[in-house]
Amino acid sequence: MDQRTSDDELSPYHVFSRGEWATRREDTPMTLTSDEVTRLRSMHDRLDMAEVEDIYLPVSRLLSMYVAATQRLFRAQSRFLGTEGAKMPYIIGIGGSVAVGKSTTSRVLQALLARWPNVPKVDLVTTDGFLFPNAVLERENLMDKKGFPESYDLATLMRFLSDIKAGRHPVRAPVYSHLVYDVVPNLWIEIDRPDILIVEGLNVLQAAAMPRDLDGIPFVSDFFDFSVYIEADDDVLQRWYVNRFLALRGTAFSDPKSYFHRYAKLTDEEAVATATSIWARINLINLHRNIRPTRQRADLILTKGENHRVEKVALRKL
């Protein structure tokens, strides 16, 4: 008798509806107030208490189990090797398109994880700081590819993650200013032995070209213990990007120091046309060419609907 295997059986993921995922919270307590949730969300996001309860509390519960299991494995390996290893931070990578809500997700998870009963130290770093300075991008004719893999100082990012994973401290990460749209010279944040480090960025799951001598670790994601990819449909992402651009005209763009100050006086029609053009010429191409192909490398995939709510969750099978 011919027995056919369903697509669900072949998938490397367990897939949950929003309602099914929400039940995985069980008795995980809500540790954030409504005011804190409001402060954590980005300008164009619609994060609310229901989203935290239904989506992020179950993620926090899952991560608590994963972190504990990894720590047990680390101690077992240290005993096996007869070494006294330094504390090994648990690193979580969060990737996805421009305007999909990576920053909000990262901040919410940081806040929730830091309020576990054992009160771990949770740090957050964005890969924006590891972009090459604008002067370098301009010299290499890469300004229109800012955010593409080739626009990052990959060697410095890899060295940073290697030092973190090796337990060195403190480790410095460069700082990026969204106001001036550039890396800030001679300014760093120090990461000093966190229990958990969240690394957020467009291409954190990107697979680099293999080195010719096959020596070393070729992927940033090889340093991750867990990874999250956030997604939405192209037309939804474009609408969110354009709406954010329109809102920024009256906020960040209005500052004379802003790199985008020239857009502050655009009419609504001009602003929509400008934002749509930038989206199509840069962000959409980067999404299709570099970001979305990394989706299947994630341990957890959060799929958003047009109202910014996560409607589907996919968790990689063990």
User: Domain extents for the chain?
Assistant: 9-316
Short-list 126, 60, 69, CA closest to 96: 126
**Cα separations (Å) of 83 from 76, 77, 163, 192, 273?**
10, 9, 18, 22, 60
Structure tokens at 280: 């199509």
Q: Find out whether 312 and 18 touch, Cβ atoms under 8 Å.
A: yes
For the entire predicted model, the pTM comes to: 0.92
CATH code of the domain occupying 9-316:
3.40.50.300
The end-to-end CA distance of the chain, in Å, is 30
Question: How many Å apart are CA 179 and CA 218, to the nearest integer?
Answer: 32
Question: How many Å apart are CA 237 and CA 98, to the nearest integer?
Answer: 8
Question: How many Å apart are CA 157 and CA 146, to the nearest integer?
Answer: 16
Residue pLDDT tens, the chain, 318 long? 445 545 567 789 999 999 999 999 999 999 999 999 999 987 678 899 999 999 999 999 999 999 999 988 888 888 898 877 667 899 999 999 999 999 999 999 999 999 998 889 999 999 999 999 999 999 999 999 999 999 999 999 999 999 998 888 899 999 999 999 999 999 999 999 999 999 999 999 986 555 555 555 567 888 999 999 999 999 999 999 999 999 998 888 999 999 999 999 999 999 999 999 999 999 999 999 999 999 999 999 999 999 999 999 999 998
What is the DSSP code string of 102-162? HHHHHHHHHHHHTTSTT---EEEEEGGGGBPPHHHHHHTT-GGGBTBGGGB-HHHHHHHHH
